[in-house]
Amino acid sequence: MEQLNICDILRSISDDKALTIFNTIALSNGSATIAISRLKLTRKQYYSRMSAMTNAGLITRRNGKFFLTSFGKVVYQAHILVGKAQQNYWKLKAVDAIESSNDGLATEDRNNFINNLIMDSDLKQILLSGDEIKDNSRKLIALQQT
């Protein structure tokens, strides 16, 4: 199977209906049926979304039931992280506002501010590890160029 790029993978879950299907599969562990009528999709729309997610390597079918692949589980966790960021949007904006102020904050004060404002440990870790993000960005760019 040809490796898809990140845009193709995200495109497969980029609309509300596809994301609902993806989440249902993730949470059901093969036990739930997805009512096409409840999603207000035609059979063609439903199966095209399922096909896109399968082709992106996010889901697989076993014994007539759909499951997340290992890759799909990683993408699902990334989706959860984005949801946490969305729930903390205004707090993240406050961090940005403090960082962009003329005076700025000393690193220790900035870290204390983040620790007191952001309760989610995953988001905290990302915000407190700026150099690691730069290193990971460089690695991602290098991977995309290969």
State how far the Cα of 115 lies from the Cα of 105, in Å rounded to an integer: 14
Per-domain residue ranges of the chain: 6-74, 88-145
pLDDT tens figures, 74-104: 999 999 999 999 999 999 999 999 888 867 6
Q: What is the mean pLDDT of residues 42-58?
A: 94
pLDDT range class, residue 64, cuts 50, 70, 90: confident
Q: What is the mean pLDDT of residues 19-40?
A: 82
Q: pTM for the full model?
A: 0.79
pLDDT tens figures, 101-138: 867 678 899 999 999 999 999 999 999 986 555 565 66
Q: Does domain 6-74 have CATH number 2.70.170.10?
A: no
